[in-house]
Structure 1
Amino acid sequence: MATEDLGSLEWERSKISQQDINMLKKLGISGKQDAIRFPKEESYPAPPMQYRPFMKELVRFGTQFIGYRDYARELEEKLAEANKRADALTIELEHSESAHTKTVEDLEKRLGDAKRALEENVAQHSAREEDILSRLETQSRRFVRRTHQEYELENPEDDELLDVLSLLEIHGTEARNGLDEAEAGLSRLFPYFFHKKEQPATFIELAQCFNGKEDLGLQLRQEGLKVGVEGTMALIAESQQQVDWSKVGDAGKIETKKWQSLIKAAKPNSKKILATLGYKPAPAPSSSKPEVK
């Protein structure tokens, strides 16, 4: 009885479904199925003894198949997940490539804009440099026309703009020195010509005083002549000499040669009178040559 119960139990365990049979066909053991006639449940309460080893084998195969099926299902799930991730990575890669392409295009555009801006800047700088060079050359030519001095650089910089600037600096130095000398000379002459005026503070105003419509040289000469005549008359009065000044004043027009002769004859006697009036003749320039050391 115990043996029959054990056989029944093994028979129940050995039952397989149609799905398992299909799996066995895939495994290549369908031929055995055609050769073996499986008894029906209602025909035999327990499988015959000769079928039991085969049933054990089928049970072992079924158990393995169930494990493989779970493993295959797990692999299929992992494969589906991997495919999903691959699709996501593909989309992300496409987006990345699109963004990369857009970035490259933007950089190329910016590089082109920067290149064009640089070319425009270089062109503007070159034009500006040419304009500055022309203006500096014009100023140098103007100095040459006024000072009658033309210079050449001993050690040019091999840069046209710097060389022209150096020449202009030389002319500027010459002009400054000339202005200093002119201001000093005009300042010394100003009290003699404008003894009732205050000397201007700027050089331009000082120079304008000497460039008026009046002939300052003639004016100064006449002023000196007046002082000389008045001084001479005062000295004659002091010496108690009797002179008919009305006749002197009515001498009329004297010829140039006679006038020059009278002046020449008066020079020996005029020195004392000039000395009395405070006249100091300018020292004559020395004719001796300077000693060469």
Structure 2
Amino acid sequence: MAAEDLEWERSKISNQDINTLKRLGLMTKEDAIRFPSEESYPKPPMEYRPIIKDLLRIGSQFIEYREYANRAEEKLAEANERADALAQKLEQSEAARKKAELAASKAKVEADEAKAKAAGVEELQKKLEDATAALDEHKAAQASRDEGILKRLKSQSRHTLTQTNQDFDLDNPVNDPLLDALSLLEFHGREIREGVANANAGLSALFPYFFPKKEPATFLNLAKMFNTSEDLGLKMRQRI
């Protein structure tokens, strides 16, 4: 094969390719590649096989592989960042779950305490209702008792009035039926005591004139001796 029959091509490397080589670190010197003003066509001997085209193709593929590797590395870095973000979110979610469980546990404890307090309140309410019912019963019994006492006091006052014919009016009533009735009975009691004292003195003075016996020790027995069916006036005249 003659040299002139080989299909040599002009270099297709551009400034963009050079910048790519620099960015990939494959070209560290500014003058590592220089474009000649005129390219010469090589004329290899017959026994040589030109491979510059294949080398250029392989180099181009290598550059593409490096770019792909860089893109893959960037994608991997992005994936790692997303994985770290997801791990952080998962950790935060786990912390939130633990916090929620703790809050739920505290809420359950508070709910149990509230139930216990509610049960205590219900028990106190029941005791209060029982105490109120007992107090109402006591008030009713006390009112009935007071009414009975009032009736007895008024009855005694009426009986005393019948015996003494002396009625009384309270100067300063307290507007309490029970106390006012007791005050009236006290007036009648004082009247009776004065009457008994005077009667006892009079009967004691008359006793020796009517009876030879010893005078009784009590006023009631003394009065009974004078309150007899026997005519004491006749008896006294006979003794004279």
1:188 deviates by 1.6
Correspondence 1:88 to 2:105: yes
CA RMSD of aligned residues (A): 3.2
Partner Cα distance (2:213, 2:161) in 1: 38
SS state at 2:201 partner: helix
Distance 2:84 2:119 in 1: 52
* 1:141 positional shift: 0.8
The partner residue of 1:122 within 139, 146, 166 is 139
The aligned runs of 1:22-33 (5 Å cut-off) are: none
Q: 1:71 aligns with which of 83, 88, 100?
A: 88
Q: How far does residue 115 in structure 1 lie from its aligned partner after superposition?
A: 3.3
Superposed counterparts of 1:133-282, under 5 Å:
133-197=150-214, 199-212=215-228, 214-224=230-240
Q: CA deviation at 1:214?
A: 4.2
The size of the alignment, in residue pairs, is 179
1:75: Cα distance to partner? 1.8
Partner Cα distance (2:97, 2:121) in 1: 35
Helix, strand or coil for the counterpart of 2:173? coil
How high is the TM-score relative to the length of structure 1?
0.51
**1:283 matched to which residue of 2?**
none
Q: Could you tell me how far 1:101 is from its partner in structure 2?
A: 4.3
Give 5+ residue unaligned stretches, structure 1: 1-43, 225-293
Q: C-alpha offsets along residues 51-101 of structure 1, whole Å, 9 cap, x if unaligned?
A: 565466456446545643543343233122123223323433443454454
Distance 1:68 1:201 in 2: 119
Q: Which residue of 2 aligns with 1:102?
A: 119
1:217 alignment partner AA: G
Q: Unpaired segments of 5 or more residues in structure 2?
A: 1-61
Return the alpha-carbon distance in structure 2 between the equivalents of residues 159 and 49 of structure 1: 116
Change in 2 beyond 3 A, CA 1:126/1:97? same
Partner residue in 2 for 1:235: none
2:130 matched to which residue of 1? Answer: 113
Correspondence 1:55-70 to 2 at 5 A: 57-58=74-75, 60-61=77-78, 64-65=81-82, 67-70=84-87
Displacement of 1:116? 2.7
Q: Is 1:132 aligned to 2:149, yes or no?
A: yes
Task: Give CA-to-partner distance per residue, 1:6-61, whole Å, 9 cap, x none.
Answer: xxxxxxxxxxxxxxxxxxxxxxxxxxxxxxxxxxxxxx9xx964456546645644
Q: CA deviation at 1:180?
A: 0.7
